[in-house]
Amino acid sequence: MKLFNRFLTVNSHLDSWMGRFGQAESTVTLANTYLDIMLWGFFPALGFMLLRGVVSGLSQARPIMAVVIAGTVFNIFGNYVLAFGKYGFPPLGLAGLALATVATHWGMFLALIIYIFQQRQLQKYLIFQQLYLFKPDLIWELVKLGFPIAVFSALEIGLFTVVTYLMGALGTDVLAAHQIVLQTIIVIFMIPLGMSFAATVRVGQWLGQKNLEGVKRAGYLSIAVGFIFMTVMAIALLSFPQLVVGLYIDIHDSANEKIIALVSPMLTIAAFSQILDGVQKIAYGSLQGLQDTRIPMLLSIPAFWIIGLPIGYWLGFHFDWGGAGLWLGQSIGVAIAGVVFTCRFYYLTKVLKQNI
């Protein structure tokens, strides 16, 4: 309860922080309304992520996929009904989107719990038994592995969050164009993200068996497949940019001409950058399978925050490249991380060859 109250305190000061980043007052009000409701979905979202990791680690990814697909469909339907006021519900706008998302988080969390209790293969692991027992040695091992992962995620997500704030400082049209590109990339990025989880599991299993060839095969094959997939997606984005933009706004409406013009250079940069972004994520997942989390965390700091973000800010504001400059900067940071993580995986497999 104390932790939740701290989240409420942080959220209560969000408006002042957003104002300092140059956000419009209307944007701040909408964001506060949305986040006040979204806080109630924090616990089930965290619980689902935890159980997802456990079930995935036991090579049972299909039920997770089924739960996520069902949750996504429910969320889309709930967003439509509550945001626009369909089937007798009042139109709630952003508040409706938040309510539907919170309900989705709780539904997915409870569905995965029910599956774990009913699945015989998982019952033997006694996942929910003896939770009250405090095991300091085990907890410390988990902290040593998990804390760097958490910091890395915060650094990675924080980079995109700060860039989004800076986009807002450039104007609502730039922010709208950025959101079109970002949401498109996020959807495509789910494939390498899932492959990253799979790489962690498979590399970890081969490591446990002390099978170096299996470790290398799982890691490099995952990286290669991710690279090919993201290359194909990049070609598709570059070939049909109008189709992508048309999913979000009316491209024939003259009122959207400025947004369309802003999207074009951002989408071009994002299309190329997502190739190495996919490599970065899958290579990082492979490193997690080798239980190497601290060094990648340290390597991400200069890649994301010392190189990527300053270059983006410099290009976007001092060279007047606007949103395209911010996208280019963060893309450079992600590309550097992708190359460095792949080299790190190569180095560790060379070290393993001498120890196995």
DSSP annotation string for 79-117: HHHHHHT-TTPPP-THHHHHHHHHHHHHHHHHHHHHHHH
Other Cβ atoms less than 10 A from the Cβ of 68: the count is 18
Q: pLDDT by residue for the chain (356 residues), tens digit each? A: 454 455 444 555 555 665 555 555 666 666 777 778 888 888 999 999 888 888 877 778 788 889 989 999 999 998 888 888 888 888 878 888 888 999 999 999 999 999 888 887 777 777 777 777 777 888 888 899 889 999 999 999 999 999 998 998 888 889 999 999 999 999 899 899 989 989 998 999 899 999 999 999 999 999 999 999 999 999 999 999 888 888 888 888 888 888 889 999 999 999 999 999 999 999 999 999 999 999 999 999 999 999 999 999 999 999 989 999 999 999 999 999 999 999 999 999 999 887 76
How far, in Å, CA of 102 to CA of 78, rounded?
10
How far, in Å, CA of 32 to CA of 140, rounded?
36
For helices 257-289 and 172-208, the axis angle rounded to 10 degrees is 20
Sequence-ordered alpha helix ranges (H) in the chain: 2-12, 14-20, 25-38, 42-57, 62-84, 94-118, 120-123, 136-169, 172-208, 212-239, 241-246, 257-289, 294-300, 309-313, 322-355
pLDDT at position 339: 94
Other Cβ atoms less than 10 A from the Cβ of 351: the count is 10
Under 8 Å between Cβ of 218 and 289: yes
pLDDT at position 352: 86
pLDDT at position 328: 95
How far, in Å, CA of 349 to CA of 283, rounded?
13
How far, in Å, CA of 162 to CA of 327, rounded?
12
250 burial class (0-12, 13-18, 19+ CB within 10 angstroms)? exposed
Under 8 Å between Cβ of 254 and 234: no
Under 8 Å between Cβ of 128 and 116: yes
Under 8 Å between Cβ of 181 and 266: yes
pTM summary value: 0.77
Under 8 Å between Cβ of 276 and 335: yes
